[in-house]
Amino acid sequence: MEIRKVENYSEMSQTASTIIINTIKHKKSPVLGLATGSTPEGLYQELIHQYNNHVFSFKDVTTFNLDEYVGLGKGNPQSYHYYMKEKLFKHLDINMENVNIPNGTVQHLEKECENYEKSIKEAGYIDVQVLGLGLNGHIGFNEPGTPFSSSTHVVELDDTTRKANARFFTSMDEVPQKAITMGLTTIMHSKKILLLVSGENKAEPLARLINGNISEDFPASMLKKHPNVTIIADKSAFVALNSK
């Protein structure tokens, strides 16, 4: 894993956007894997800024999001469909037919997972996958204990995750219990992975990722087995590590 230590959140976002824009400029039909949560918001703002400066176009880009809550429709402000539209897609020239986010409102969730997995495979897998790091080491919504061999599936969310995400809802009760997430194997098929980490609250999980063992108890540790991972982490996320 390549580790890039940057000054702050803004530098983390700019560094990630440079890598993504280079991929978009150099690949004919780039496929991006996108994340939600607070971590990638700055990256999306930076992409919009560069797009407005005519640096690149999103018209040939296909995207796959990591996850979506079960039971939240596209129009629900807490859904990841809504998040992606508001924070990125509506500002760009992306063809919405090339945007893929799991649908957590269908009756047959297992079928939705199968179809999602199939679409990623048919797209030739993901060129650059953006990831945030959960406090318990989750990536996407793959909670501790998820088999490394998992493909897209329905998950029961951990209480840690529901508590951490409660800030986006009016109360903890409103945080869905379940979600659909890309699996760990799906993520590992990506050609390049960018893990973004910012803030002191991520210092413990980052230290565990860097110094700890590879174990299904800590899903992000699987990334150590991938040949092309770049961690972009800011200074504050490094406080639990003795690096300079």
Active-site pick, 46, 117, 127, 143: 143
Give residues 154-183 in contact with ligand F6P (rule: CB under 6 A): 161, 165
**Is residue 158 annotated as part of the catalytic site, yes or no?**
no
Active-site pick, 68, 100, 112, 136: 136
Give residues 56-115 in contact with ligand F6P (rule: CB under 6 A): 66-67
* Collapsed DSSP state (helix, strand, coil) of residue 181: strand
Question: What single-letter DSSP state applies at residue 190?
Answer: S
Give residues 196-225 in contact with ligand F6P (rule: CB under 6 A): none
Active-site pick, 112, 117, 138, 189: 138
* Collapsed DSSP state (helix, strand, coil) of residue 91: helix
Alpha helix stretches (DSSP H) within the chain: 9-26, 41-52, 80-87, 109-122, 159-165, 184-188, 203-211
CA distance 144 to 150: 12
In 3D space, the residue among 6, 69, 39 whose CA is nearest the CA of residue 205 turns out to be 39
Q: Which is nearer to ligand F6P, 56 or 128 (CB)?
A: 128
**Is residue 143 annotated as part of the catalytic site, yes or no?**
yes
Beta bridge partners of 139: 142
Q: Which is nearer to ligand F6P, 16 or 131 (CB)?
A: 131
Q: Is residue 35 part of the contact set for ligand F6P (CB under 6 A)? A: yes
Q: Which is nearer to ligand F6P, 77 or 124 (CB)?
A: 77
Helices (H) and strands (E) in the chain, counts: 7, 10
Where do contacts with ligand F6P occur on this chain (CB under 6 A)?
Answer: 35-39, 66-67, 131-132, 134, 141, 161, 165
Please give the positions annotated as active site: 67, 136, 138, 143
